[in-house]
Structure 1
Amino acid sequence: MYPMERFLGTLKSYVSNKARAEGSIAERYIAKECSDFCSRYLKGVETQANRLDRNDDGLDDLNYKGFDVFRYKGRCIGAANYDPIEQADFHKIQWYVFTNCDEIEQKLK
């Protein structure tokens, strides 16, 4: 499903008064945005904004001195899948990383 259709479906689910659908959607949307915004600043309460990710193993190394890309450790979810990369594709990937990663650009100078 496309993201816009999913969003419109969410807005459609906000309708509680079918006689005034637009006002009902606007009122519910504003209430949800306000509660989401305020929940970011609640201390000592677990909310959707401040809880750990579902698959977070807590293995990130904050003292890691290398590139930020490799700081987070994790484990596979599901079966392992190995797809070899062709040599030409590998060189394209390397070139893309070297030209678009700010951290590597600093190391190359």
Structure 2
Amino acid sequence: MYPMERFLGTLKSFVRNRANPEGSIVERYIAKECSDFCSRYLEGFETRSSRPNRNDDEFEGVESEGFRVFTQQGRTLGATRYDPISVEEFEQIQWYILNNWDEIEDIIK
């Protein structure tokens, strides 16, 4: 039921003329729908409905050469930190890559 109550709260916030609340709600709702509809189809500038998602990791025009594992683009969401790994962990990672990664077989041979 919460989404419906939230929507009704939005409609109630549209009321400016307490003598005629229905007219105020209808007028503001139609104006909002028209502006939302037009903003989706206007080109050349960014609106609330046409801007990219907040955590969109797609970088257009950026091509990465090399192994497939290094072609993924991304960015950190928080502060970066450096966690050093031990020599034993490094050797385990190296062993796993050399034994389980298909793209590395050509380089080994």
Q: State the TM-score, normalized to the length of structure 2.
A: 0.52
- Equivalents in 2 of 1:16, 1:43: separation in Å? 32
Q: Name 2:13's counterpart in structure 1.
A: 13
- Equivalents in 1 of 2:45, 2:36: separation in Å? 13
Question: Which consecutive unaligned segments of at least 5 residues does structure 2 have?
Answer: 61-72, 79-109
* Pairwise CA distance, 1:57: 1.8
* Residues matched between the structures, number: 67
Q: Name 1:69's counterpart in structure 2.
A: none
- Equivalents in 1 of 2:23, 2:34: separation in Å? 16
Query: Aligned AA for 1:58?
Result: E
Q: Name 2:85's counterpart in structure 1.
A: none
* Pairwise CA distance, 1:47: 0.8
Query: Aligned AA for 1:38?
Result: C
- Equivalents in 1 of 2:14, 2:74: separation in Å? 37
* Pairwise CA distance, 1:12: 0.4
RMSD: 2.6
- Equivalents in 2 of 1:6, 1:74: separation in Å? 35
- Equivalents in 1 of 2:6, 2:29: separation in Å? 15
* Pairwise CA distance, 1:58: 1.8
* 1:3-57 deviations in Å (ceiling 9; x for gaps): 0000000000000111110000000000000000011111111012210011212
Q: Name 2:4's counterpart in structure 1.
A: 4
Q: Name 1:54's counterpart in structure 2.
A: 54
Q: Name 2:33's counterpart in structure 1.
A: 33
Superposition map of 1:57-96 within 5 A: 57-58=57-58
Query: Segments of 4+ in structure 1 off by > 3 A?
Result: 73-78
